Amino acid sequence: MSFRKRNIGLSTGADRTPAATSASQPQPERAVSSPTATPGVRPSPDDGRPTTSTGSPSLDNLLAGHGGLPIGKTLLIEENGTTDFAGALLRYYSAEGVVQDQKVHVIGMPQQWGRTLPGLIGPAEAADEKSDKRKGERMKIAWRYERLGEFGAGVAGARAPAVTLGDSSPSSMDDSLAKPAFCHAFDLTKRLTHPSIGNITYIPIVPTNEPLLVSIQKKLQAIIASSPPHITHRIVIPSFLNPTLYPPEVGQPENVLPFLHSLRALASSPTSRVTAMMTIPLSLFPRSSGLVRWMEILSDGVIELCPFPHSSDALSTSGAATSHEEPPQGMLKTHKLPVLHERGGGSDQNIGQDWAFTLSRRKFEIKPFSLPPADGDQEAQSQARSDKMPKKEDLEF
Amino acid sequence: MPSQPPLPHLLTPYISTPPRESLTAVSSVVGATGNWLILRFLYAALTDAGLRGVEGERKRKVVLGLDLARLTERREFAFVDGLSELFCGPTASAPSRAPSQHLASGPTPRTTLPTRPHPGITSLRQPPPPSAGSDGPPQITKDAGQVKRLRLSGNGAAALDALERDITAVIKQLKASGLGEDEESEVSLIVDQPDLLLAATGPSKGIGATEMAEWIIGLQQAATATVATISADSPLIHNASASAHHIATPLETEHAAFAIGLAHRAEMVMQLRNLETGAARDVSGVLRVSKGGAWGQRDSAGQETWEEKEVLYFVQRDGSVSVFGRGE
Amino acid sequence: MAPSSLSHRQTHNLLLISKLLSLRDTASPLTLLLDSLEQPATPLIKEYIRRARLSKVHVTLIAFEALKPYDGVDAFVPARRKAPTEIMREVAAAYKPDSSNSPNRRRLILIDSINPLLHSTRLDRSFHLSSFLSSFIVPSGPTTSKPDTSLVVTFHQDVPGRPAQSPYTPSPLSLLTYLATTVIKLHSFSHILAQKAARDRSLVPPVFGLEEEQDGVLLGRLDKPVGKGTEAGGVVLEMEYRRKSGRGVLEWYLLPPASKYPATQLKEIVTLLDDHPLYRPPEDLGDANGDEEPESTFELRLTERQRRDREGVVLPYFDAQQGNGPGEGGRILYDMGEEDDFDEEEDEI
């Protein structure tokens, strides 16, 4: 996207919050009249339901063929250990909401949290441009990995408007305005500066005379009820129940579960467009406990991150680490995916796949996982070659 | 894969006519949810030509052949909303309506009561138009005034009693609408995840496994036959068992007592679980149909003979389900 | 086991179970049935009711679980949302000894499951399980003719209980088993067979249902298409009977499926588990059919006379103990018989 300055969000021009930008918007009529043009919302290629991007193309593609998080659904991201990979996902999710002029509600975090959102690079497809070119040479062997097709050549990429690098002609610009990007690429080392970043609402954890979560839920409900119906909301709950943020009594089931239930009711309410994403530290609240299981039951999607305990340096020196690629930093498990598991589960071809994730400064990447052969272990290396699981460099599309 | 019949024939004997006064328990886990099965129960009940008192109307407009909105209008189906306002308390922002206002509108011979969104109803439908989200509510909750919304307030048995009154009132209205005959219509009741109520309240609020079981008994007495779904995930069942290595939380103890107790009271227990060998591309899960603790208690038992069975099932993208034996 | 003692045990223990199930002589005032999802108590309860009807016993069912009475129950007391005192009152009112009736009509009170009561949040500290249960059995107040009452209580072992309010009070299950005069634990016959088969091969016995601790499995039972209708049906009763003297009797019985006998059958249908051909195949009984000897080219057995002769042999160390001084004793003392072919040159004594 050479025609735009980096770190300034794309003004997609459509459907701004009236309070914020109504005076300066000459062209919103067309967009409002046709709801399909709502920025950041597009029909799912699977069943046409409206979806919105999580800000991470890799995660979008994982979500059972919808290419994004369906409106009205909640996503619970669990993380083992003390790392904060889940927090990065939340930042992408929030930044995407900001860039798309959606309303972002952050619970339990101070305003400073908004300043840690990653800086915008551009539409996600453009950021993948370089690898696309590289991919061309490898296409001839793609048939071997046919079964991986839907994931790697994800729907986000497949359906995206073709934007070519360096093409700054006015017509291209019109195209990108008419069909705004669904998902953007962000740089974690930069800071997001965007006109609507100030529109993030922060719901602090402050003692009230009501139970804490009840008051949070009421605030959320009031904000969403009072905003125009075409606004899309994102509810962001970082490190839910973390004792450094939340008072201990919040962890009682009679507080947590009604809150999640109400959140779910709020999200699935037909009169509003809400998605929610929350993270929870599994070290404090293990999956083997009944409470966390209930939280999973009440969430539409459940994803578990299991970061590798050792440092990534050790891995990068192994023979498996290719020159141009980061080694995986952990495993990712999908326990439940929005809509798919509501329906009964199982028909998604990504189900049962072992995933690894890699967080680099530009993206959170989720790839099929295969154990790298150990250095100098000829036997293992030959096995790895004969293994059905392709090496990860082959999986990059 | 060829298109599947709405009711897989292997399942038909188990879900078509739940016997009178019977309780059927459907257990599920996070990775193998039961909405598709509940939908089949609905389908079997609503298309049953032998629907006593009411001529079953066959509508094949929506997926699965059920137009629930229409059936609601025809007073053959009622939906009690346990999601929207269950925990809103008495001072919620939404205007609270007197229960009597809704009751007149919902008399139908079949009732379902989800305490979570009923994806069986919403998600299996035709894709909503892309414009959804403006003011187009899902089909079932077309008119909020038509759907009874449950709201939990207070503590202990009194809170449960209030919910029970709301639900039984709907059931009674349905029964009374039996085409003006003296005979009452039969009402099948589907209670979706009543265990949420227990998990979200607990003994500290005066609601334990016994109170929940008694609540279900109360609903059973109002309905002709009852289906209840419960979660049977390992942490919720086994953490409380005597062989567990650590002290179970009250949530786990109460849930296990309620779920196992429900299986003791059920004539049939349908258990959904994941494949032991891990997820597969063409299998969604395993369904085991077992005789519950109450099987054989009624004198008429033995008239409906069915065998315990274990089958695999696969939910396809369009929501259709195929059911097959292992290795088939 | 000697045939005589086995047959004695057979007779005695079959008489005992017959007496217990038919409630004769109020042999067991408080019977505790320990069941599970793998083997619910329903068949045994139905058997109690069947026998009670045959002998005109008045049957009361206190229902914490059942919606409707079982077939053959005379009085049905739903216990839902009722305080223990209320239940006691209703049960007392359910049967009034009528002078026109035979004066000593016996009474059977069934509690379909005690777990909901024990788990209730409404119970206050004034509730005592022992006094609650004994109120049904022991005549209270000045009423002249309280009938002989037997109380049969079902407890689901697999339903977890709530931790005790005080860590020093015994658990309800311990208390129940302590109070009960008879404890009957129910097992599924097919499971017992499977576990026995594994033990016979020195394998770990399989577990079923909840004990498998598998995600999503509440019940492990499955009618096996082959085993259905064959002898593998039925309920195994592991009985412990406490006599008044304090001595206990332990026995395992088999209650066949109700479809195997007519409802009016008076003859005892319960058998010892050991007598069942599937549990203990006949050849294992050994002595019972000792006349038939296996055919073999070697005769390994002794005749009666040979055995007598062998017993008559004085072994060397007996001789050594005679104390005839060092070097003496330890001889083989042997009386030659006619079979012995003694050769002076070869054999030495």
Q: What is the mean pLDDT of residues C305-333?
A: 72
Q: Say yes or no to pLDDT of B254 above 70.
A: yes
**Residue-level pLDDT at B153:** 82
Mean pLDDT of C298-318: 76
Tens of pLDDT, residues B199-229:
998 888 889 999 999 999 999 998 888 999 9
**What local confidence, expressed as pLDDT, does residue B149 receive?**
82
Average pLDDT of the residues in A317-343: 72
- The C-alpha atoms of residue A347 and residue A392 are separated, in whole angstroms, by 24
The most confident of A276-285, B279-288, C1-10, C158-167, by mean pLDDT:
A276-285
Amino acid at position C136, single letter: F
Mean pLDDT of C81-95: 90
Q: Residue C253 is inside which H or E element, if any?
A: strand C248-255
Which domain CATH number covers B221? 3.40.50.300
Nearest Cβ partner for B200 among A257, A288, A345: A257
Q: What is the pLDDT of residue A325?
A: 62
Counting one residue from chain B and one from chain C, the pairs whose CB atoms sit within 8 A come to: 160
- Binned at pLDDT 50, 70 and 90, residue B295 comes out as confident
Longest dimension (CA), chain A: 68
Which chains pack against A, by 3+ Cβ pairs within 8 A? B
The shortest C-alpha distance from A354 to chain B (Å) reads: 11
Residue A347: pLDDT over 60: no
The answer as to whether A174 is a domain residue is: yes
Three-class SS state of C64: coil
Range of the domain at B143: 19-272
CB atoms B28 and C216 under 8 Å: yes
User: Which of A188-202, A246-260, B38-52, C170-184 is predicted least confidently?
Assistant: B38-52
Q: How much is the pLDDT for B110?
A: 44
pLDDT in tens, A154-210: 444 444 444 343 444 444 444 444 457 888 888 888 888 888 888 889 998 888 888
Q: Which residue has the higher pLDDT, C258 or C340?
A: C258
Highest mean pLDDT among A281-295, B178-192, C95-109 belongs to A281-295
Beta-carbon separation of A339 and B313 below 8 A: no
- Among B52-61, B76-85, C179-188, C254-263, where is mean pLDDT lowest? B52-61
Would you mind telling me the total number of residues written for chain C in this entry? 349
What is d(CA A306, CA A356) in angstroms, rounded to the nearest whole number?
9
* Contact indicator for B38, B227 with CB cutoff of 8 Å: yes
- C-alpha B117/C-alpha A70 separation (Å) is 15
Domain of residue A162 covers 18-395
pLDDT at position A150, please?
Answer: 43
Q: What average pLDDT does range B236-259 have in this prediction?
A: 88
Question: Does residue C149 have a pLDDT over 70?
Answer: yes
Per-residue pLDDT tens digits for B89-101:
654 333 333 332 2
pLDDT at residue C157 above 80?
A: yes
Give the helix/strand (H/E) hosting A136.
helix A129-138
**Whole-number pLDDT of residue A149:** 42
Q: Where are the beta strands (DSSP E) in chain A?
A: 41-43, 50-52, 69-70, 74-79, 103-107, 118-123, 184-191, 201-203, 232-237, 273-281, 301-307, 330-336, 355-359, 364-368
Give tens-digit pLDDT for A94-148: 999 998 888 999 999 998 888 888 888 888 765 555 444 444 444 444 444 444 4
Q: How many Cβ atoms are within 10 Å of C214's Cβ, its own excluded? A: 18
Q: Which of A351-360, B47-56, C207-216, C294-303 has the lowest mean pLDDT?
A: B47-56
Sign of CA dihedral A322, A324, A328, A333: negative
- Residue B282 is predicted with a pLDDT of 83
Q: Which residue has the tokens 């080219």?
A: C297
pLDDT at B45: 80
Structure token digits, residue A126:
């453009």
CB A69 within 8 A of CB A275: yes
Q: How far is C214 from chain B (nearest CA, A)?
A: 7
Q: What pLDDT was estimated at residue B87?
A: 79
State which of A20-29, A199-208, A291-300, B290-299 shows the largest mean pLDDT.
Answer: A291-300
- pLDDT for residue A28 is more than 50: no
Give the pLDDT confidence of C229-286 residue by residue, as tens digits: 455 678 999 999 998 887 889 999 999 988 888 888 888 889 999 888 888 876 544 4
Per-residue exposure over A264-295, b if at least 16 CB sit within 10 Å of its own CB, e if not = bbbbbbbebbbbbbbbbbbeebebebbbbbbb
Residue B3 has a pLDDT of: 65
- Pick the residue with more confidence: B186 or C194? C194
Give the SS3 label for residue C62.
strand
Nearest by CB to residue B264, choosing from C119, C156, C228, is C156
- Cβ–Cβ below 8 Å for B133 and A221: no
* Nearest chain A residue (CA) to B88: A262
Q: Does the beta-carbon distance from C40 to B264 stay under 8 Å?
A: yes
Residue B148, H or E segment? strand B148-149
Rounded mean pLDDT, B141-160: 70
Does residue A276 form part of some domain?
yes
Is A11 a domain residue? no
**Which residue's structure tokens are 């209270």?**
C140
Residues A224-247 have a mean pLDDT of: 91
pLDDT of residue C104: 63
Question: What is the distance between the alpha carbons of residues C194 and A39, in angstroms, rounded to a whole number?
Answer: 63
Average of pLDDT values for A22-26? 39
The strand pairing partners of B27, in sequence order, are B230, B271
Q: Do chains B and C touch (3 or more CB pairs under 8 A)?
A: yes
Per-residue pLDDT at C70 exceeds 60: yes
Higher pLDDT, A166 or C124: C124
Q: What is the CATH number of the domain that holds A135?
A: 3.40.50.300
The answer to whether residue A5 is domain-embedded is no
Q: Do B83 and A44 touch (CB under 8 A)?
A: no
- The predicted structure's pLDDT at residue A354: 79
Contacts of B283 in chain A (CB under 8 A): 346
State the DSSP code for B74: T
Task: Outline where DSSP puts E strands in C5-74.
Answer: 30-35, 58-63
A13 in a structural domain: no
pTM of the entire predicted model = 0.79
In whole angstroms, give the CA distance from residue B60 to residue B69: 12
pLDDT bucket at A11, cuts 50 / 70 / 90: very low
A229 touching chain B per CB within 8 A: yes
Distance of CA A328 to the CA centre of its chain: 18
Q: CB of B201 within 8 A of CB of B254?
A: no
Mean pLDDT of all residues in B162-167: 89
- CA gyration radius, chain B: 19
Q: Is the pLDDT of residue A36 over 60?
A: no
Distance CA A274, CA A264 (A): 10
Query: How many structural domains are present in chain B?
Result: 1
- The tens digit of pLDDT for each residue in B23-35 reads 999 999 988 888 8
CB B191 within 8 A of CB B225: no
Range among A143-147, B184-188, C46-50, C287-291 with highest mean pLDDT value: C46-50
Domain total in chain A = 1
Interchain proximity B249–A289, CB inside 8 Å: yes
Confidence category of residue B102, pLDDT binned at 50, 70, 90: very low
Confirm or reject contact between C173 and chain B (CB < 8 A): no
Where residue C177 falls among pLDDT bands split at 50, 70, 90?
very high
User: Which of residues 266 through 305 in chain A touch B, CB cutoff 8 A?
Assistant: 268-273, 287-294, 296-298, 302
Question: Under a CB-based contact definition with an 8 Å cutoff, are residues B99 and B169 in contact?
Answer: yes
Q: CB C223 to CB B307 under 8 A?
A: yes
Q: Which chains sit next to C, with 3 or more Cβ pairs under 8 A? A: B
Of residues C257 and A312, the one with the higher pLDDT is C257
pLDDT of residue B7: 83
Q: Give residue C275's pLDDT.
A: 86
Please check whether residue A356 lies inside any domain of the structure.
yes
What pLDDT is attached to residue C59? 93
> What per-residue confidence (pLDDT) applies to B286?
92
pLDDT band at B198 (very low <50, low <70, confident <90, very high): very high
Is the minimum CB–CB distance between B302 and chain A shorter than 8 Å?
no
Structural domains present in chain C = 3-289 (3.40.50.300), 296-340 (no CATH)
* A8 in a structural domain: no
- Percentage, residues of chain A above pLDDT 70: 64
pLDDT given for residue A242 in this prediction: 92
pLDDT-derived band at C117, boundaries 50, 70, 90: very high
Q: Binning pLDDT at 50, 70 and 90, where does residue C228 land?
A: very low
Confidence at residue C327, expressed as pLDDT on a 0 to 100 scale:
65
pLDDT at residue A274 tops 60:
yes
Question: Which residues in chain B (228-257) have CB-CB distances under 8 A to chain C?
Answer: 232-234, 237-238, 240-243, 247-248, 250, 253-254, 256-257
Contact A6, A184 (CB under 8 A): no
